[in-house]
A and B are shown apart, each in its own frame.
Chain A
């Protein structure tokens, strides 16, 4: 570590503070005691779906499309998850199945 201990602790503290600001800000701006504006309620209804979509893309963002395995293991594993989920609708089965397929592909095939 190039910093002193105190500088390190301060760095961790400001990162924690910044993170917490992003989590608490909506609740500070729209406190429980007040009815939020209509448009905020509208965002509250559409954003959960959109954010899950964003998280799927976010978690796959570093998939190499033009190089290496061209994202084939990711594609196959995702298709396996969709198929498993349509078949059984069991969260644990779909997640375990997809992850095992992915691990086998990257360790043994690609």
Chain B
């Protein structure tokens, strides 16, 4: 491939990726900004939110870390808390094992930068024909992190409240997840298995939310999901060892089929 062609390929991937990140830009600039301002009002220089947003890059954990920095020094507890708050990332990794295969150097950064929103876009989007998979994933990841770090740094520099009423703007990220959920649900390649999985995810986390409350429901939800998926495996996993992979069994998985043809 010539240099020109490589540049064209990167540009195509950027054109496909950017529109999907626009709502995230709005949400991250706003939330990042409020996070930076929170740190500013607690007396931290903008360098703190800037570095934390770049290196931790997990929104909710960064808010938690502000409180850690304001209490007694306890690195072991901080480490364990980070593991617990971010345990859901384990499942993102399991979901993307196949899709990140063969992406070389990009893979390391894709894993490093896989926050909720980036995962949601990268796992749910059917990449258009002719667009390079690695570059598409990379652009989504880079753009989202750029929005977040910019927001956090700006907020740290401003260091006080915004001059206009932004009440409710944080809902943009809820809207993003809901729309991705709807897109997956309505997607042509989703099939029965995808919809059953979506229902399992919603019901397991709703039940745990009611049972454990908003601060402690994440880990129970993840455990409940895994248990349910193991129990449902005979009904959902239609490609057991020794199966000849008949057409009917794989018909429900448009994107996996696409993956294997790459």
B-contacting residues of A (Cβ < 8 Å)? 1-3, 7-8, 10-27, 30, 32, 36, 38-62, 73-74, 77-78, 81-82, 85-86, 89, 91-92, 94-96, 98-99, 102-103, 105-107
Residues 188-209 of chain B: 1 if any A CB is under 8 Å from the residue's CB, otherwise 0?
0010011101111110111001
Interface check B163, CB cutoff 8 A: no
Whether A12 lies near B201 (C-beta < 8 A) is: no
10 example contacts (A-B, Cβ-Cβ < 8 A) are as follows A24-B112, A41-B98, A47-B225, A50-B200, A54-B88, A56-B174, A57-B202, A78-B178, A89-B183, A91-B19
Q: Which of B8-16, B128-136, B153-161, B235-243 contacts A (4 or more CB under 8 A)?
A: B235-243
Contact A52 B58 (CB under 8 A): no
Q: How far is the CB of B150 from chain A (nearest CB, A)?
A: 19
CB neighbors of A among B122-177 (8 A) = 123-124, 165, 167-169, 171-177
| Number of B interface residues in the complex (CB < 8 A) | 105
Residues from chain B with Cβ under 8 Å of A98 in the complex? 171, 175, 178-179
CA of A16 to CA of B208, assembled, Å: 27
Q: How far is the CB of B51 from chain A (nearest CB, A)?
A: 7
Q: Is the interface of B mostly helix, strand, loop or mixed?
A: helix
Inter-chain pairs besides A49-B201, A107-B167, 5 sampled, C-beta below 8 Å: A16-B55, A22-B83, A22-B87, A58-B205, A74-B174
A-B pair number, CB within 8 angstroms: 275
> For residue A2, which residues in chain B have a CB less than 8 angstroms away from its CB?
70-72
Residues 195-237 of B at the A interface (beta carbon under 8 Å): 195, 197-202, 204-206, 209, 214, 217-218, 221-222, 225-226, 229-230, 233, 236-237
> Which residues on the B side are within 8 Å of A13 (C-beta)?
55
